[in-house]
Each structure stands twice: as structure tokens, then as C-alpha cells.
Amino acid sequence: MKNLKDITDLNEIANIIKNYIINTKLSEDYLINFDCPIDILTMLVNDSNVLVRKLGVQNKNCSVQTLERIIKFDSNSTIKKTAIQNPNCSFELLDRLLMDSDFFIRDAAKKRLDSKDKTEQKEIKKGKHEEELDNMIAYYNELKEIEKQKEKQNKPKVMADPNELAAARRMATQNVGRLNINNDITPNENANSNISYTQTPDNLVQKSEPATLQQSIDAKIEINSESEEDRLFEAEIERELEQEEKSKSPSKLLITIDKLKRSNKTFVRKFYHSFKIDNDTFLTKVDDHYEIKSEFLSVLNFLNLENIDTNNLKVCGIDISESNLKIDPQLIYNKDLSNTTLDDKNLASYNFDGVNMEGTNVGVKKY
């Protein structure tokens, strides 16, 4: 078998982990309580095989929205009962199920409510297979984090340290001799230079022939135009971000994002996908499906949506191309992607069978 750490494709690793979960004898307590990544959990709960679906439905990371969808739409009564037994099945959902037309669903909900307060946290014992799966998931999460970091663009450059700048100047002086002060002269753009200029350094020019000086200098000097005011503003946003993650206040979150958008600072993109948000805050239920709350539609690119449950979510007519929201075209509401703008990175699956693609934009490809 191929060594997992020789593989860097996330989809391939996710499928390997899924098959490991299906084909390996793992303890029941572990299967319920291990931190199954959302992408892999989605693959499990939507599998055509009942036994595979059960593996996903019983896991603690299965969201309330997914559980509710399964109880309502899954044709298998065992899967429905498994969803009711999931620790995330809320009191509100259980109360509604007491009125369900299916006697067995009502009975399972009643028993679950009667035992909910008696649920005890068990110590999970791990054997060789459980430890191996933990390691596989850790590697998968590590790769996902690397991919996430790659997506962040236009990070502000670190301002040159005065001591490093002085050392670079001394090195240049030792290599080519004397440097003169003259604010009007700038480096020859056509010279074979080893110096990287973001902005022309004040008072740094050469007396000798440009090419000779440029070829002899190994030091690279980067001067960033970011002002002290910008750095203070960025630090302020980061502090507010930390506070909002603790308070989980949507109104404060939106105020901070609005302040960030209106600032027009060069580092704004650094905060893309930074503001964590959960399903309950981000989504609203409308009849038989979920929709993104209107107040968040204009700030999707600033929100961290990687753990949002998009099953039965209405996305038609929305631009999610700069967000990190992941959707499966087969699982969104009504399989409707009409007039939606998205990027390849937004797709958890490329199965478009039966999907309404009228007016859909995927990357540069238009349908």
C-alpha cells in the first residue's frame, strides 16, 4: 500500500480515510467520539450504503442541520434512529419529533429525551487501528491547513529593520567602496541587480557604474510603505477578532468587518476567511431548506466557512467565489446552481448530474 505521507492530494487522502473507517474494525465508542473532518463526514452520511451512512450519522461532529435532514429525508428507519441518538440532536429537534407521524420516530425521540440528562462522557480507549486513524486524520488536517495558508494572498510585507538596513549598507560599502548621499539618483532599472526595491531607499545610491555595484551586492533591501497607522489599525482589527470569537456576537462581527472594508487598507485580504462562524449564526431555516442570512451575503469572503454544513442549502444566485464555502452540487437545495458564481475550490464534488446550471459561472468557465 502506498505510504499516506507520499500523497498530497486532499481528495485522494479523504477517500483513503473514508475506506479505512469503513473497512477497519474500530470501537463503537471511538466511532461516535473521534473528530471526523467535515469533508469526510459528508462523504459518509451521503453514501448509498446504509451501514456506511450509519458510521457518519453517529459521529459527534454531525451537525444539527444534517441530523434533521437525515431524520426527515432518509428512507431507512435505522439511520433515522441513529441520528436521534447522536449527542448533537438538540432538545428542540427532539421535541418536534415527538409529534412525528412515524410511531418509531416518536418513540425513539421520547427515549432519547428521557435519557439525555443521564448521558455520561466515557473515556475512549484506543487500540492500534484507532491510533492509526488519528494519525491519518492529523496528516489530512495538516495538509488542509497548508492549503488554507496558500489561499491567503497579499500579506503585508514586514518593514525593514533599521539595524538590518544599516548592516546591508555596510556590506555594500565593503563590496564596492564608498556610497554617496544623493536623493535624486535611483538604481538603474536595467542593471543586473540583486537588490529588491519595493520603494527606492532614501539616501542610498552608488557613485560607481550601476552594473558593477548591482552585481557585487548580495544584500536585499525591502522597504515597505506600510505606515505606523496601518500597523496599529491592523493590530486593532486582530484584537477585535479575538474578542468576537469569544463573545460570538454577529453584530459586533459585522461592525468589525465593515470597518475593515471601509478602511481600504492594503492588508485587507489578509483577513479573508478569518472570522469564524457557526451554522446557527450563519444559516436560517426556510420551510424545508436552509439559506444564508442576508446580513452575511456581502461579507462571505471575510468569513471562515470551512465547517459550515451546506447540505440542503440554497445557493442559487449567490457569488461564493471568494469564500471558502464548500458545496456538493448533488446535496444543495433543489440541486440548483443557477446564476451562482463559484470557484473550483468551492466544489466538494464535480458531479453535476441533474443540476440546474443555467447562468452558472465556475471559475472562468461559463455554462
Check if the beta carbon of residue 244 is closer than 8 Å to that of residue 253.
Answer: yes
pLDDT reported for residue 91? 83
The pLDDT of residue 162 is 55
With a CB cutoff of 8 Å and minimum separation 6, the contacts of 255 are none
Cα–Cα distance for residue pair 59/108, rounded to 1 Å = 18
Q: In angstroms, what is the C-alpha Rg of the chain?
A: 27
pLDDT value at residue 137 = 93
Burial class of residue 125, CB neighbours in 10 A (0-12, 13-18, 19+): exposed
Question: Which cell is 128 given?
Answer: 492500534
Specify the pLDDT at position 59: 92
Q: Which residues, 6 or more positions from 341, have their beta carbon under 8 angstroms from its beta carbon? A: 318, 319, 320, 321, 360, 361
Strands laid side by side in the 365-366 sheet: 341-342, 361-362, 365-366
pLDDT, tens digit (0-9, with 9 covering 90-100), for 169-188: 555 555 444 444 344 334 44
Q: How crowded is residue 77: how many other Cβ atoms within 10 Å of its Cβ? A: 12
pLDDT of residue 291: 94
> Domain coordinates of the chain in residue numbers?
4-149, 162-216, 228-366
pLDDT recorded at residue 58: 92
**pLDDT at residue 78, as a whole number:** 87
What confidence score (pLDDT) does residue 166 get?
58
Q: What pLDDT sits at residue 181?
A: 38
What is residue 327's predicted lDDT score, i.e. its pLDDT?
94
Low-confidence ranges of the chain (pLDDT < 50): 118, 157-158, 160, 175-226, 364-367
